[in-house]
Amino acid sequence: METVQPGMVVVIKPGELVPVDGVIVQGSSNVSQADLTGEPMPVRKIAGMGLLSGSVNLDGILEVRASKPSSESKYAQIVRLVAEAQEQKAPIHRLADRYSIVFTLLTLVLATAAWLMSGNLVYALAVLVVATPCPLILATPIAIMSGINIAARHGIIVKSGSAIEQLGEVDIAVFDKTGTLTLGMPKVTSILLATEGQRNSLYTEDEILRYAASVEQLSTHILATAIVNAGQERHVTLYTANGFEETFGKGVCATITTSQPEEPHSQSDPKRCTAIAVGNRTFMRMLDIPLPTYFLEERERRRALGQICSFVALNGTIEAIIIMEDVPRPEIRQLCPKLKHEGIKQTILLTGDSEMVAQQIGQLANIDRIIARCLPEDKVRVVQELEARGHKVLMVGDGINDAPALATATVGMALGTQGLTAAANAADTVLLSTSILGVDTAVFLGRRVMRIARQGIWIGMGLSGLAMIFAALGYIPPAAGAILQEGIDVLVIFNALRVSTIHIKKDR
């Protein structure tokens, strides 16, 4: 795509990533911009509308005239933000490094003092022999490697030892919304039936869903998948649809022949043909199906809440609307209290979605601070401001738009259930578990690993310091000091191996 220049026309097929920013010159399709903007629902794009690189074309074939070189596209801008964030990231001061200078200076001072005070070079040599650096060399790496192995067993990939060290110190957790605190895909949440005065027949919710799913099973649209999945969850048996037709991005229609009447006291022919149409408002108007005011008002109210509605018409009459939304993960109510218990002082939600939707999810998850309508650069700015105040920031996200913030944060954690993405590449850790509570598991593990590592360092340095004092006074000769040093090393190693005994409860 480096050869694409402004003015060139690119053909984008269903399922393909939009490679350049441009304007649609022909075709129409539903486009997913979730990774760029945080908006979970597909957006309808028609000729004349702009298209951002990094979006995913869902169903139609689009011809797009490039408006910028690929190097200046939205996706390229995000990639540059990631690279800049990684270059500007402050160097991490490893735990062992913090103590090594002090320990080295203390050793040299004691050895020199022993020599000067006793006049015997052997005393200084004994001090240097018992001054084992192994608590610094072994305690932290062994603890960290054991911690990384435990994390991997629980579906958390930690890319480096420094990442698990920093997990032990983070005090603010920042979350993306779409695909992180929510499932990132539409799901049927309710079915609103017509009032008795508006119905031709008294259908139940399961009957409406059965008809709709029977037709939608022949479509590959993301909303069709949600309706079919809802039918499977309710264990409804689907009919065979005939004469299936789909208008991309608008709706589907077909006829269904049932072997018996749906109404219990009907005297009609046992073979009954029903015309089914499922789709949006535009689709219903294309089919000249009247839209009741009640349903239109309800549709507007639901749209304001970030929900999407599909009308279901049977034999030319709207009988119900199926309501779908990007639903929150069921476990998010537990996440923030668990993080607070682990010492996280504040939780923040950064999302490109609307204020109303952000507030709904944020309040459900007990998030302390909610910031909506965030662009990728806004997320980076918020993280940088927090770090400038001295905070250690954990950033959790899953989309392309989260990648710059993941690279900027003290620890970036990407949700990797969708495979290796730009977010996973930019992050320090990748959560493979389907539960967002894996974030708490990672923080819990980081805290425990570093607590044991610090204990090992203090035990080793304390015993070494004590041994150096006795050696400086002439009580420990070099040969005995060598044996004592090995004993201290073994003790530190056994302490570090206690990480392997850390028990992680199943509810984390």
By annotation, the residues acting in catalysis are 176
Name the strand (E) or helix (H) holding 216: helix 205-216
Cα–Cα distance between 492 and 504 in angstroms, integer? 23
Cα–Cα distance between 439 and 337 in angstroms, integer? 12
CB 416 within 8 A of CB 400: no
For helices 478-496 and 121-130, angle between their N-to-C axes, nearest 10 degrees: 10
Name the strand (E) or helix (H) holding 65: strand 62-66
Cα–Cα distance between 355 and 135 in angstroms, integer? 51
Q: Which residues contact 359 (CB under 8 A, 6 or more apart)?
A: 370, 372
Cα–Cα distance between 320 and 343 in angstroms, integer? 48
Residue 99, token pair as written in the block: 């103590």
Q: In a 3-state reduction of DSSP, which class is residue 126? A: helix
E strand spans, 86-209: 156-158, 172-175, 182-193
Q: Which residues contact 238 (CB under 8 A, 6 or more apart)?
A: 210, 213, 214, 217, 231
Q: Which residues contact 475 (CB under 8 A, 6 or more apart)?
A: none
Residues in the chain: 508
182 — phi, psi (to 5°)? -115, 170
Residue written as token pair 């977010």 = 423
